Structure 1
């Protein structure tokens, strides 16, 4: 049960963003820029960063939501599961493996991102902008994970909910819109 009154039809971060819309707008804008804006990393790769960080923080809502979003954007379900549970054998590029490790270390502490990790990522082809955005996405999702869990937001257990949410995120991104979540709780 959430610690504050939230719309029961908007679980996870969706209810929190609805609760305080003035703070929601900059959150949504930054997320849109990082996960859907111009980048040499694909939208699916950026969702994988959100997935591994959320998984590392044990935030079930965000892990499920961004795993589903990565699956939809990548068009398959193996990669997100592998980056969470068997990253060495995940079907991603060497560059992405290094960026995901940097994301994992950022999730623990920014001080865990050491020069050796950065050098390996650069040797594998990571650009300065990709390094920047990986660390920022990881830090941002650590905040989101703590936001969702810190206020005990509702976490659905049905995979169909996350599949619907992933479809919304793929189609509409992260910016607010009228009736954004109208289909979220459809049966």
Structure 2
């Protein structure tokens, strides 16, 4: 369901910000930003997402962006997959690595700890359940308990965001708009 209020229901200050974004980036404001700034009290996931994606972690920003893109791929959410794969690509400077990971996790050119972690996130996203054996399998690949916790926070944030994107019918922006958004996310985070 596409909400027209996201197109024209913002306060004057927010509309001015959108105008500035369009002038500077030469790209439209993407739907995720429109939702996040429409009713901050409704979409309070901004702080949760910022902490998961930019808080202290042994995972790099690129790794966490790849996790977000991967969870979004499992959820079949095109907007979030495109947005976070663009951000991950910019961070890594490696389009092939991101594409390969989202296409075939088993043959992707990533380390085994990240592969095992993404497998855990896929299982949790699909089945809504993981067990102690699943966690032990990830730990066996050298991933720390703190890294598992951080990855689960990314999974939580993007399972929420993916469902909102699907429910509100987020438009898939152009690759140029996604790249502009990715640059912003790398510079400013999710606040």
TM-score in same-fold range (> 0.5) = yes
> Could you tell me how far 1:83 is from its partner in structure 2?
1.3
Q: Offset of 1:132 from its aligned partner?
A: 1.4
Deviations 1:54-94, CA, capped at 9 Å, x for gaps: 01111111000000000011111112111111111111110
SS in structure 2 opposite 1:40?
coil
Distance in 2 separating the partners of 1:51 and 1:98: 16
Tell me the number of residue pairs that the alignment of Structure 1 and Structure 2 aligns.
172
Structure 1 gap segments, 5+ residues each: 176-187
**Structure 1 length-normalised TM:** 0.86
Question: 4+ residue runs of structure 1 moved beyond 4 angstroms?
Answer: none
**Partners in 2 of 1:109 and 1:116 — Cα distance?**
15
* 2:73 is the counterpart of 1:55: yes
- For 1:184, the equivalent position in structure 2 comes to none
Cα deviation, residue 35, structure 1: 0.8
Q: 1:15 aligns with which of 19, 22, 34?
A: 34
Q: Which runs of 5+ in 2 are unaligned?
A: 9-27
Distance 2:138 2:158 in 1: 21
Residue from 53, 58, 82 that aligns with 1:35: 53
TM-score, normalisation: structure 2? 0.84
Q: Aligned equivalents of 2:2 and 2:115: distance in 1?
A: 36
Q: Considering only CA atoms, is the larger Rg found in Structure 1 or Structure 2?
A: 2
Q: Distance in 2 between matches of 1:18 and 1:155?
A: 18
1:115-130 equivalences under 5 Å are: 115-130=132-147
2:179 equivalent to 1:160: no
Instruction: Report whether the alignment pairs 1:3 with 2:3.
Output: yes
For the 8 Å contact 1:98–1:117, the answer to whether it is kept is no
